[in-house]
Amino acid sequence: MTDPDALVARDAASFFHQHGSSPCIGALRVAQGLWLEDMAGRRFIDLHGNTVHHLGHGHPEIVAALKRQLDELAFTPRRFTNEPAVALAEALLARWPGAPARVLFATGGSDAIEIALKLARVATGRHETVSLEGSYHGHGFGAFGLSSAAPDPRLGTFLPGRRHVTPYWAGEDGPARMLEEVAGLLATRRIAAVIAEPMRSNCHVPPVDLWPRIRALCDAYGTKLIFDEIPSGLGKTGRFFAFEHFGALPDAVVLGKALGGGLVPIAAVIADARLNTAPELELGHYTHEKNPLTTRAALTALDIIARDDLVARADEAGRKLKDGVATIAARVPCVIGARGLGLLLAVAFDAARCERQPGADFAAHLVASAFAHGLSTTAKGDSAIGLSLPLTVTDEEIVEVLARIEAMGQGL
């Protein structure tokens, strides 16, 4: 049997080191449902899942569908189509609440974001973008540059024309500042697209009128609105598309992560069919664009979400979690409460009310404390941790999660 410490050491010696990945904190033996088990036999509830585990890890129906597809057709060169790819496109378009739309697939979210940017550039004849400072849209040179106005200078220059505005979560005046800055930039008539997560995955919920007002500004100045729903789409927030909470229809939406059922990488762009104006260009020309395996996994995931009414379940389970955390907050001084929508949530803590002073890096202290209580999660800002559970979570599992959060809070 492989020694887990030795495997982690081999990993550290083989991979380039990078923040949040290598070196690793351990080695997994099993990922099933909402549970992770490492090679030392320790079990954790996965409150993060890289936001791919909408259906839990290793969903048996998706595993079975992939096995069948391997025997039937495992690859399609770009010049040919296949049944699962077309069926997936049709299934996504059937969910689209706006005017007629079309799709393109990619193997990852960064690529899909850049496809959406290309569509907006071609449609508008403009090349500049507006995005929210501190957002995250992927790691391609086009997508990563949208996240921050000043990425690490060692990486060199990113796409020109990137404009960043104050995000709506930056204090009480954040939404007003964001609107004012967006309006000023769009008035230059140089902006091809505003791109943002409708609800940032730090789980701060925007004011209900924010996105309709941004939509109106985009319409007034001929700018396209792109919503990045890579972490928040496919029912995670209690609506199939997160933007459905906010009354603003984008020109394009990007899906990813959980689209592959937690097993294979696939992302999608759904966009207004009126952007279909450049058939002579290669806008998303990827080797595995219409891969029958990845599209079969995604199609099966959509079927499960619809059949089991998991969008409604996300809304119901999220309310139970929020209520449960509120009950804990009434008993445990350092717990503030939960924020977010559906099952895309974060639990906020008050460092000043901790019995044991955590030191300078409170977020790291929270993540370590959660880990010690069998909860695998990440920081959501300086004083919160992610509470992201599968849409398939049971009521019994919710009770167990809440018990561990309370025990964690009592120990802080």
The full 3-state SS of 341-355, as one line of letters, equals ECCEEEEEECHHHCC
Q: What is the DSSP letter of 28?
A: E
Query: Rounded distance, CA 183 to CA 18, Å?
Result: 37
The number of angstroms, rounded, from the C-alpha of 135 to the middle of its chain's C-alpha atoms is 11
Q: DSSP string spanning 368-388?
A: HHHHHTTEE--B-SSSEEEEE
Q: What is the DSSP letter of 21?
A: S
Query: Rounded distance, CA 72 to CA 87, Å?
Result: 16
Angle 384-5-58 (CA atoms, 0-180°, nearest 5)? 60
> Which of these, 347, 340, 335, 301, lies nearest to 318 by C-alpha position?
340
AA identity, residue 12: A
Angle 113-117-122 (CA atoms, 0-180°, nearest 5)? 150
Tokens 């398939």 belong to 392
Query: Rounded distance, CA 222 to CA 304, Å?
Result: 38
- Widest Cα–Cα separation across the chain: 64
Sheet strand arrangement including 128-132: 101-106, 267-272, 252-255, 224-228, 191-196, 128-132, 162-165
How far is the CA of 46 from the CAs of 36, 56, 63, 79, in angstroms? 6, 9, 20, 40
Residue from 136, 168, 221, 286 carrying the catalytic annotation = 136
Query: Rounded distance, CA 226 to CA 131, Å?
Result: 10
136 in catalytic set: yes
Query: Rounded distance, CA 245 to CA 254, Å?
Result: 16
List the structure tokens of 238: 């209690």
Q: List 191's β-bridge partners, or say none.
A: 128
Would you state the torsion angle of the CA atoms of residues 289, 292, 297, 301, taken in this order, to the nearest 10 degrees? 80
List the structure tokens of 350: 């008050």
Query: Rounded distance, CA 190 to CA 113, Å?
Result: 19
Report the catalytic residues.
136
